[in-house]
Amino acid sequence: MRAEDNELLTRVGPGTPMGNLMRHYWFPILKSDEVKPDGSPVRFRLLGEDLLAFRDSDDKVGIIEPYCPHRRAELFFGRNEECGLRCVYHGWKFDVDGNCVDMPSEPAETDFKHKVNIKAYKAVEKIGMIWVYMGDQNPAPGLPDFDSMRLSSDKISIRIALRECNYLQSLEGDIDTVHLGFLHLGSVGTSSFNKNTREHYLSEDKSPKYEVTDTDNGTMYGAYRAAEDDTYYWRVARFLMPCWTMPPGGEIKDHIIVRAWIPIDDHNSMFVSLAEAGKSPVANIKKGMSLSGIGVGLNYEENPGTGFLDRWKLKENRSNDYMISREEQRTSSYTGVRGIHLQDQMITESMGSIEDRTKEHLGTSDQMITATRRRLIKAAKELEKNGTIPPGVDNPKVYHTARSGGMIIGRGLNWLEEVQNIEDNALWPDGSDI
């Protein structure tokens, strides 16, 4: 990759081509229960900007710049009271829209407070998450219409984790299907799995063939291997603009999941997974066999701070080498690191906070990655040159019924047509039409 293209793809701050593109989209950046009515403000960072979230007395959420426009004191230390956040330095108070609603340090007869406001961004709540929009469109575009967005609160599983590297390398790890057979299942032989199952086919052939295509909302790949009786086992996954993925676990027909790799700044990203609860695929393992902790969940820091990058940090991280066990690596685990998410995190963070893509040597298994990079570069350049609104912004419906997962089909069938047919006939868990 050319150095200038890597720079374009990875820089997300205000005024950068990719930062401008990202600001056309909504991002789920806080859980609703992180922000309490009249409670402590919450520091966070998004697209290179330090921000503050607070919930007022009427349960409305405000997303504002964190510094008072008077003397630039930090509003994190302010009083959240009576429908506003009050700076404790001179008492200036701001509502969720950034308006100054009280200025007790100035004479009552002046109208100075009506001339002062603070930068504020739009926020809405959906499926237990606070979504933030940092763009200029008025009215703002609609939220992306993922199938996950239609799940009830008792049916959705939300997982979040900070990743200390650029959003793009986090995202690229999620659209790289071939690493599954090595990083996550490298120590598990074919004999561990039941015959004629997806895991059996995957472990038998760790170098699948690929087909990749652009879609209305991003890119999509199909990786296929021989199955039984003149059939192929396909693993189908998606990238959706601007930083969403749909991994290929489970079966396409009932796999409701979407994952965001949100750019916090150039050097950090936030993983947010929105999936149907209780539907994590169960590996078809022979009785008595084990996957050596593959499914271990996320462990968070026991005493997280309140800084702009302290939310959802993992206990196992770069500073302690992800608690790698060399003994387990020798005897039972391919990596010695427990859990699929943590194994991915170890690898993507090991590339540095921004990978130097000028030194890569990509192979045939990287077709989805190169297609996705081209898609992002094209969208950013068309926005910069012609003002072309990026895909999915003005038509959130393009995300609806998009699915990923596995399927076994005849070798003579067209995989794209089969995926489309499955999506067209997809059902909700209760059997109703989507």
- pLDDT tens for 171-180 read 999 999 888 8
Residue 170 domain-assigned (yes or no): yes
Average pLDDT of span 354-378: 97
Q: How many domains does the chain have?
A: 2
For residues 68 and 157, membership in a common domain is answered with no
Q: Which residue type, as a one-letter code, is found at position 403?
A: R
For residues 317 and 415, membership in a common domain is answered with yes
For residues 37 and 89, membership in a common domain is answered with yes
- pLDDT tens for 214-273 read 999 999 999 999 998 899 999 999 999 999 999 998 889 888 999 999 999 999 999 999
Q: What is the CATH number of the domain that holds 95?
A: 2.102.10.10
For residues 272 and 385, membership in a common domain is answered with yes
For residues 194 and 219, membership in a common domain is answered with yes
Q: What is the CATH number of the domain that holds 384?
A: 3.90.380
For residues 315 and 347, membership in a common domain is answered with yes
Whole-structure pTM value: 0.94
For residues 338 and 379, membership in a common domain is answered with yes
Burial 33-56 (b: 16+ CB within 10 A, else e): ebbeebeebbbbbbbbbbbbbbbb
List 276's β-bridge partners, or say none. 156
For residues 54 and 165, membership in a common domain is answered with no
Q: Is the pLDDT of residue 90 over 80?
A: yes
For residues 124 and 272, membership in a common domain is answered with no
Average pLDDT of span 84-98: 98
Domain boundary among 143, 174, 194: 143
Q: What is the pLDDT of residue 289?
A: 45
Average pLDDT of span 193-207: 75
Residue 312 domain-assigned (yes or no): yes
Residue 393 domain-assigned (yes or no): yes
CB 309 within 8 A of CB 45: yes
For residues 131 and 235, membership in a common domain is answered with no
Q: What percent of the chain has pLDDT over 70?
A: 93
Average pLDDT of span 145-150: 93
Range of the domain at 170: 150-424
Burial class (CB in 10 A: 0-12, 13-18, 19+), 198: buried
For residues 290 and 225, membership in a common domain is answered with yes
User: Is the CA virtual torsion 185, 190, 191, 196 positive or negative?
Assistant: positive
- pLDDT tens for 389-430 read 999 999 999 998 899 999 999 999 999 999 999 998 876 555
For residues 351 and 298, membership in a common domain is answered with yes
Q: What is the pLDDT of residue 210?
A: 93
The two three-digit tokens of residue 213, written as one number: 């295509």
Residue 363 domain-assigned (yes or no): yes
Give every strand in the sheet of 26-31, ordered side by side: 26-31, 129-133, 120-126, 61-64, 49-55, 42-46
Domain boundary among 143, 164, 196: 143
